Structure 1
């Protein structure tokens, strides 16, 4: 089965793009997948940021995960794309107790589920633990309408789906979030609405960070790779900064996609060491 997974990944790579390029932001060195996987052995938690739905990035995630699985005795996968209340059905699928059709029907998969399926198949093949890290979307949606006031009045079972510690720092992350929201389709939001959207963003970051921290505390020897939209981890902000607050002693790596016009002589950002530990070079999106 492992051989079949590797062959399938190699076919996907050859069909989708010619090469995968990673860059070490400390010295601008280009790394192969094998070299990257070796360097990632030095870290406790790896954040792999993505642009949702971009095939080449998802293919790179699968190839890196396969390489880490070959080199790591205890690798845990963690996902923004699955929410805490879907953990039982996720576990049942990975353990072979339910068919994939039932898992798909019951776990509120994203519309681009096929991009994440190879990662789940790797996890299933290697019998990995997989974490449904995110807050259930129903609560994030309520935050947009109500703020955080309702959270502590939830029944204990529901309250457990949300991080115990919530924070909404006035930092670069908030400034970047506000710029992003203001640039979306010309919408003009009130200051109160913008604040609630930011609270909804933060409840996701805090919950994902807590999910990762709990998994690490339960499995101190494990290495965790967490998959999320790039904004949640770029510049070591968002979920990364929350995890550092919870577990300041752990070593964290961030992989972030970076658009370049060509692979031979890519123009890399001057401040790239502040953006990520490694950049995944990607051609511009049409």
Structure 2
């Protein structure tokens, strides 16, 4: 009987191992407890602003973003979708496409699309369009962020008033002591580029994405914002700028990480967001 028990346990262990290796993702809360994806959905319903931090080329996470949008949509007239993956000067084109005034082909020709738009972001946009969910293009135009990386924030002052409409109101405060910005500077130590200007370029992106949602948050809309995890991890980046205007706003953050082992997360990762989605390191990538 003992021998049989040992064989049975070994068999069950082999099944568990196989299942663990084929699990597409696990979810943890900020206490380090493993929960299901429905826990994110339930907590999101009571948040006015949700940051879904992604790894841009992780296909599983983009699918989960779509599932969260679908779960929030029913009977929610205040729901809006927002994203880093479109720049603010594309907003008019997006609005016209949403209104049905142009074909998908024309829209995609006229807009500045990320190279994985078709596989990762188009499903979100089509669902939003079909269900009349307004979309906010939140990111600063890349050319202006690039200008800051070369000349600092002062470089923006020479822009026309029309150009400044696509940027957070100047002057923008940058706290370079924030851990995320300080870590960025440390990581780039030794670079020939001006590191303070690089931090400023990151900060103007964060400030502009926060500013893009301000009007709608003031009106009581619920916003699901899609962005790279580093823009909202540890409640910094965009979250920090939102908090300057809305210190008491109900905010929920989601981080995405890739690990070989999906069964646990370390202490630092646990502290990075309200929920952490862990996917395998060999998850299919869109690029």
Question: Shorter-normalised TM-score: what interval?
Answer: 0.7 to 0.9
1:227 offset after TM fit, Å? 0.6
> Cα offset for 1:62?
1.1
CA distance in 2, matches of 1:278, 1:92: 35
1:62 to 55, 66, 75: 66
**Is the counterpart of residue 177 in structure 1 residue 174 in structure 2?**
no
- 1:185 maps to none
Indicate whether 1:225 and 2:259 are aligned.
Answer: no
Please name the residue that 2:174 is paired with.
168
Distance 1:144 1:151 in 2: 11
Secondary structure (helix, strand or coil) at the match of 1:70 reads coil
- Please give the per-residue CA displacement for 1:153-197, whole angstroms capped at 9, x wherever unaligned: 322111111101412212212112124434xxxxx424x611111
* Cα distance in 1, alignment partners of residues 275 and 73 from structure 2: 19
CA separation of 1:36 and 1:177: change in aligned 2, threshold 3 A: same
User: RMSD across aligned C-alpha pairs, in angstroms?
Assistant: 1.9
1:280–1:72 distance in 2 versus 1, CA, 3 Å: farther
Taking structure 1 as the reference length, what is the TM-score of the superposition? Answer: 0.84
Partner in structure 1 of residue 212 of structure 2: 211
Structure number with larger C-alpha Rg:
2
Cα distance in 1 between the residues matched to 2:153 and 2:235: 25
**1:157 equivalent in structure 2:** 162
1:269 aligns with 2:266: yes
- TM-aligned CA deviation for residue 228 of structure 1: 0.6
Q: Is the 8 A contact 1:47 1:226 kept in 2?
A: yes
Change in CA separation of 1:103 and 1:181 when aligned onto 2, cut-off 3 Å? farther
How far apart, CA to CA, are the structure 2 residues paired with 1:83 and 1:181? Answer: 26
Q: 1:259 to 1:18 in 2, by over 3 A?
A: closer
Partner of 1:237: 236
Higher relative contact order (CA 8 A, sep 6+): 2
Measure the CA separation in 2 of the matches of 1:66 and 1:210. 25
Ranges in structure 2 where 5+ consecutive residues have no aligned partner: 1-21
For residues 196 and 255 of structure 1, the distance between their equivalents in structure 2, rounded to whole angstroms, comes to 28
* Deviation of the 1:150 alpha carbon: 2.9
Contact 1:22 1:31 in 2 (8 A): yes
Q: Where do 1:130-141 residues align within 5 Å?
A: 130-141=135-146
- What displacement does 1:72 show? 3.2
Which is worse superposed, 197-206 or 272-281? 272-281
1:251 aligns with 2:253: no
